[in-house]
Chains A and B, each alone.
Chain A
Amino acid sequence: MSRDRPSVPSSALWVALAFVTLAAPLVPRAQRARWRLQWRGDLWHQATAAPGGPRTPDMLTRALGVFPHAAALRTRTWRNPMLLHDLRYALRTLARRPGFTAVAVLTLALGVGANTTVFSWIEAIAFDPVPAVEGDDRLVALQFAQGSRDNLSFSYPNYVDVRDARLPEFTGVAAYDLVALNLRIGGEPERVWGQIVTANLFEVLGVRAALGRTLQPEDDRAPGASPVLVISDALWRGRFATDPSIVGRSLAVNGHAFTVVGVAPRGFIGPMNGLAADAWLPMMMQSTVVPGDRLNARGSGWLQAFGRLAPGATTRQAQAAVDVVAARLARDHPSLHEDRRLVLAPMWSDGAGGVFLPVLGVVMGVVAVVLLIACANVAGLLLARAGGRQREIAVRLAIGASRAQLVRQLLTESAVLAAASGAAGLLLTIWTSRLLTAVLPPLPFPVRLEGTVNPRVLLFALGATLVTALVFGLVPALAASRPSLAPSLKETAGAAGGGRGRAWLRKGLVVAQVALSLVLLVGAGLFLRTLQHASRIDPGFDAREGFFARLDLQAGRYDGESGPAFYRELLERVEGVNGVARATLGTFVPLTLGGGSDTSVRIEGYERAEGEPMTIFYAMVAPGYFETLGIPIARGRGLEPRDAGDAPLAVVINETMAKRYWKDGDAVGRRIDYGSGWATVAGIAKDGKYNAINEPPVNYLYLPLYQVFRPDVALMVRTTGDPGVVFPSVQQAVRAINPDLAMFDVMTIEEHLRASVLIPRLAAWLLGLFGTLALALAALGLYGVIAYVASQRTQEIGIRMALGADRSAILRLILRQGLGLAGLGVAVGLALAVLVTPIVASQLVGVGAADMATLTAALVVLLLAALVATWVPARRAASMDPLRALRYE
């Protein structure tokens, strides 16, 4: 099978081949292998021979021929003429009611398509966490955990300890960090995402170079000894026009000459799930590329580590092995590792998957509910139609058809409907699976997430379709094949409505639809409220007009003395620009997605409790930081120009930290050690939000940038008018002092704040979309039932009118029935919602899972939809001519 695959399979070819697989069981066994081979050969030819690749619609219409072909082969050696008969009969019946068929297929296709699409997103993250790497299911991320916090990073010495333990459960352990690089290719400096990696990374992943070589253990021999890099296929194509002489060429990376030694294979984006890197540099070049010597600092975590499980090793064995290493670290370095555990985690948890998968999990549940509603809807349609076919079924039973035969006939119809819906849903998925990245706002990370239609996704669609066929087909088939013979044959209008059992079933289905769609509406409402709340939460700074941009001074060009001097000049120039109110620098902009860094601290006079973590989030900031962002200083002072050079170290802390570690909360003048010796608390700033808009109050530490130099900072500018107008002049001012200095990730403060509510926005958008779909389906279902019931009661209505009932009484009669059903559905739905919504409670902000306002709003929307869906048939019933109604049969 595998050698039959094309080297670059297009989605269309996959779908076409899936059709072949779907139709194959129809072909007589003796001919099947030949038949399959013939179609594969021809489809293949079509996919590869057409100039510029095949057009998807062409490919698919042609591939649809497998079904009639298979059916034709089957008919000639037919052993079971009934099944063929069933199939023909089903096709004919469906073709005779094109409206019904279209609505049913569309409804189910939306359900199947939505499920398959969301699954394709989840599949891309969870089942293919590291694209273009063979056997990525044997890769596991290694993370430190402490207390309630997990996903803590590795320091290089930690990594070396794990690596040198040479655990037999792993064939290798590697580590990396995502960094922004300043690449000079030709004239302009260009920003590229790269990874600093241990030189064994490619070996552990099992990735070979497409051109030249990958990094090798020799590249990690001594710090600074091996200025080489491997570039991505995408960069090679995009920036070097697939120049074959790229290997050996010298590039300036952050101002230092590096030699390209190889090009990675196509599709390889590095080990980080969903985040694409374009260059890989050896670990030993760390201090050339990013500031500071991080190779010897055991306390500073900055690396993501992972390992490949040895053949035969289980994750449980591997976990036991790393437990031993963690225990050794705790013994050797008690101050840092006393309570730290080492845990294995899935590869996706270190990348974009860790952010998106929880949301997608919720969305998967939601689309499953939408599919259920769609099934209930179509089951209702089938039941209604079965009512109309009562006489046909009774005749067939009377002339000797068995109940099993009838059930099979009705199931065949369902199967044909399901197959058509599955195919349509799959078509939908081909287009929608690529939409995930399209709904994301601009992010300061190279996110690359895309679902594809691959065999696993196809299998899922097939499974979803089968389950769908059973769910919506079986119940009505069983119900419809049990008519009471005599009245049906006599064709009295009342009896043609079917037994009580069926009427009950249809109503039950409608109640279920209303209930489920209410749950979805409540979910959508909760996330809308979250979004509303989140955008109202005070982020702790009041600057709203201005922009943020990241700068990179290129490590190594500046040191602790020339760096601050440069920063001073930069801020002076920027503040001189017309329209700039205030400007500052900092290593971290509050509410940047991905979170900030933390550091271990000692606090003078504070007794650390046994096992208490003493890590605190921090940012290094320039003078004017608090003034620029508008963060009030509660006590003492902010950081000032005098906090520079050899002046005594000063820090600012936030109120939460002051209250946490000093009984009276008055920390000004007290001392903290964050790794650079004792520093004095100069002031206390008001609390804010740092890593996420919905975080509880956290401890925070501001360190003086002019005393602890870092070259990777963000420029934060507060403007007096439209930041878009001011930005070009600021850019000019920056270029004037250093033309090499690239500004990137430019975002207005407004855009930045909007991006910080990405997750609730995504959830509200998706849930709102599917909630609306569910509501429409449920309303359609209700309409169908009421219209049907009203038509069944035509005679009764005629009698009532003849006996003096006026139109409003009839209207009320029908409305009461419809709204009664809706009311029951709402009651069940409310109970369900209260049961189900706590699942998403952790993702809500400022609103409880049982929020009265949301429940009420969902209820009102649903009842309004129900009213409309009932009103239409009720009006029709009430405006009937009583004479005709009486004569109606």
Chain B
Amino acid sequence: MDHRPAPRRLSFGAVAILHAIASGNAFGFDIMDATGLTSGTVYPALDRLEEQGLLRSKWEDPRVARREGRPPRRYFTLTGTGVAALGDALERHKSLRPVDLPGRRRPSEA
């Protein structure tokens, strides 16, 4: 598998997915629940992020799965690169200063 260098900027979707994984959502459907993205977006994105070296996937111990009578699950964790990339992205997003939106209070005043 070729490890392409991580792109300088991550898409919002990718950030959301990395963020969801960093918050402890390790499985495909949990990530969908956390991000609100569809399965058609999340699964290809997971593959891509893994290829870019931002994610690492592991298979659950098949013995555990077999004992519970179900197939094993694949779960995802961030790599060091992934943590760094997510940190950068969050930093960048933080630089978006709060703005006044018509009909909404600023989050800080909430």
Q: Tell whether, in the assembled complex, residue A3 and residue B69 are in contact, meaning their CB atoms are under 8 Å apart.
A: yes
Provided the pairs A3-B66, A38-B28, A62-B29 are in contact, do residues A45 and B40 lie with their beta carbons within 8 angstroms? no
Instruction: Tell me if B73 is interfacial: C-beta within 8 Å of chain A.
Output: yes
CB distance from B56 to the nearest CB of A (A): 14
Q: Is A42 within 8 A of B29, CB to CB?
A: yes
Contact B73 A42, beta carbon cutoff 8 Å? yes
**Which residues of B sit under 8 angstroms from A62, Cβ to Cβ?**
29, 32, 39
A59-83: CB near B (< 8 Å → 1, else 0) gives 0011111111100110000000000
Complex CA gap A725/B16 in Å reads 69
Instruction: Kindly state the separation between the CA atoms of A46 and B70 in the bound complex, as whole angstroms.
Output: 12
Pick the contact of B39: A7, A48, A65 (CB < 8 A).
A65
Within 8 A of B (CB), among A73-131: 73
Chain B residues with CB under 8 Å of A610's CB are: none
Interface of B is mostly: helix
In the assembled complex, the Cα of A38 lies from the Cα of B43 at a distance in Å of 10
Q: Is the CB of A46 within 8 A of B71?
A: no
A40 at the binding interface (Cβ < 8 Å): yes
Distance in angstroms between the alpha carbons of A6 and B70 in the assembled complex: 7
Report Cα–Cα, A62/B43, bound state, in Å. Answer: 11
Q: For the complex, is A37 an interface residue (Cβ under 8 Å from B)?
A: yes
Confirm or deny: A206 has a beta carbon within 8 angstroms of a beta carbon on chain B.
no
B88 cross-chain contacts in A, Cβ below 8 A: none
Q: How far is the CA of A37 from the CA of B28 in the complex (A)?
A: 12
Given A68-B44, A73-B47, A37-B69 contact (CB < 8 Å): no
Tell me if A820 is interfacial: C-beta within 8 Å of chain B.
no
A268 within 8 Å of B by Cβ? no
A69-B44, A72-B44 as given contacts; A41 in contact with B39, CB under 8 Å: no
- Nearest CB on A from B44, distance (A): 4
Q: Contact at B69–A7, with CB atoms within 8 Å?
A: yes
The answer to whether A65 and B38 touch (CB under 8 A), given A46-B29, A72-B44, A73-B44, is: yes
- A42 pairs with B47, CB closer than 8 A: no
Residues of chain A with a CB closer than 8 A to B72's CB: 37, 41
Q: Which residues in chain B, 23-52, are within 8 Å of chain A measured between CB atoms?
A: 27-29, 32, 38-44, 47
Nearest residue, chain B, Cβ from A67: B40
* Choice from B27, B70, B74 contacting A4 with Cβ under 8 Å: B70
CB contacts (< 8 Å) of A445 on chain B: these are: none
Interchain nearest-CB distance for B102 vs A (Å):
34
| Interface-central residue, A41, A61, A62, by most chain B CB under 10 Å | A41
Asked if residues B29 and A45 are in contact (CB atoms below 8 Å), the reply is yes
Interface of A is mostly: helix
Inter-chain contacts of B65 with A (CB < 8 A): 41
A44 proximal to B (CB < 8 A): yes
Within the assembled complex, what's the spacing in Å between the Cα atoms of A790 and B23? 64
Docked CA distance A725–B11 (Å) = 75
Question: For A42, A45, A68, A72, which residue has the most chain B Cβ atoms within 10 angstroms?
Answer: A42
Residues from chain A with Cβ under 8 Å of B32 in the complex: 62
1/0 per position for A13-39, CB-CB distance to B under 8 A?
Answer: 000000000000000000000100110
The CA-CA distance from A877 to B65 in the complex, in Å, is 68
Query: Could you tell me if A44 and B47 are in contact, using CB atoms closer than 8 angstroms?
Result: no
Do B71 and A4 touch across chains, with their CB atoms under 8 A apart?
A: yes
Mark each residue of chain B from 57 to 95: 1 if its CB lies under 8 Å from any CB of chain A, else 0. Answer: 001100001100111111000000000000000000000
Q: Which residues of B contact A37 (CB under 8 A)?
A: 59, 71-72, 74
Q: A73: which B residues are within 8 A, CB to CB? A: 44, 47
With the chains together, A65 CA to B42 CA distance in Å?
A: 9
In the docked arrangement, what's the CA distance between A6 and B65, Å? Answer: 12
A241 shortest CB reach to chain B, Å: 27
Q: Which residues of B contact A67 (CB under 8 A)?
A: 40
Chain A residues near B47 (CB, 8 Å)? Answer: 69, 72-73
Shortest CB distance B28–A (Å): 4
Number of A residues whose C-beta is below 8 Å from B?
25
A6 neighbours in B (Cβ, 8 Å): 69-70
A42 to B73, CA, bound (A): 6
How far does the alpha carbon of A69 sit from the alpha carbon of B74 in the complex, in Å? 15
Q: Across the two chains, which residue of chain B brings its CB closest to A58?
A: B29
A45 to B65, CA, bound (A): 11
Q: Is the CB of B40 within 8 A of A40?
A: no
Cα A37 to Cα B65 in complex, Å, equals 12
Q: Using Cβ atoms and an 8 Å threshold, which residues of chain B touch A64?
A: 39-40
Q: Which residues from B are CB-within-8-Å of A38?
A: 28, 73-74
Interfacial chain B residues near A40, Cβ < 8 Å: 71
Given A41-B60, A42-B29, A62-B32, are A69 and B70 also a contact pair (CB < 8 Å)?
A: no
**Is B71 in contact with A41, judged by CB distance below 8 angstroms?**
yes
In the bound complex, CA of A845 to CA of B38 (Å): 57
Which residues of A sit under 8 angstroms from B39, Cβ to Cβ?
Answer: 61-66, 68-69
Find B40's partner among A41, A46, A68 (CB 8 Å cutoff).
Answer: A68
Return B41 CB to nearest CB of chain A, in Å.
8
A621 to B4, CA, bound (A): 91
Q: Which of B38, B43, B72 has the most CB of A within 10 A?
A: B43
Contact A41/B73 with A62-B32, A64-B40, A65-B42 known, Cβ cut-off 8 Å: yes
B69 touches A45 (CB 8 A): no
Contact of B74 with A41 in the complex, beta carbons under 8 Å? yes
Q: Which residues of A contact B59 (CB under 8 A)?
A: 37
Chain A residues, Cβ within 8 Å of B70: 4, 6, 41, 44-45, 48
Contacts of B42 in A (CB 8 A): 65
Closest to B30 in A: A45
| B80 nearest CB across to chain A (Å) | 24
Complex Cα gap A37–B72 (Å): 7
Which residues of B sit under 8 angstroms from A72, Cβ to Cβ? 43-44, 47
Question: Contact between A42 and B44 (Cβ–Cβ < 8 Å)?
Answer: no
- Bound complex: CA A69 to CA B65 (Å): 24
A473 CB to nearest chain B CB (Å):
25
A9 CB, nearest partner CB in chain B, Å: 11
Q: Is the CB of B29 within 8 A of A44?
A: no
Q: CA separation between A64 and B69, bound complex, in Å?
A: 24
CA distance A67 to B32 in the complex (A): 16
With the chains together, A66 CA to B39 CA distance in Å? 8
- Which residues of the partner chain B approach A42 to less than 8 Å between Cβ atoms? 27-29, 73-74
Q: How far is the CA of A73 from the CA of B27 in the complex (A)?
A: 19
Q: How far is the CB of A650 from chain B (nearest CB, A)?
A: 68
Which residue in B27, B29, B43, B60 is a CB contact (below 8 Å) of A69? B43
Chain A contacts for B27, CB-based, 8 A: 41-42, 45
Interface string of B2-31 (1 = CB under 8 A from A): 000000000000000000000000011100
> What are 12 contact pairs spanning A and B, CB under 8 A?
A37-B59, A37-B71, A37-B74, A41-B60, A41-B65, A41-B73, A42-B29, A61-B39, A62-B32, A62-B39, A65-B38, A68-B43
Q: Which 8 A-B pairs have the closest CB atoms?
A: A65-B39, A68-B40, A72-B44, A41-B73, A69-B43, A40-B71, A42-B28, A38-B74
Told that A6-B70, A61-B39 touch, could you supply 13 new A-B pairs with CB distance under 8 A?
A7-B69, A34-B74, A37-B74, A40-B71, A41-B27, A41-B73, A41-B74, A42-B74, A44-B73, A45-B27, A62-B32, A68-B39, A69-B39
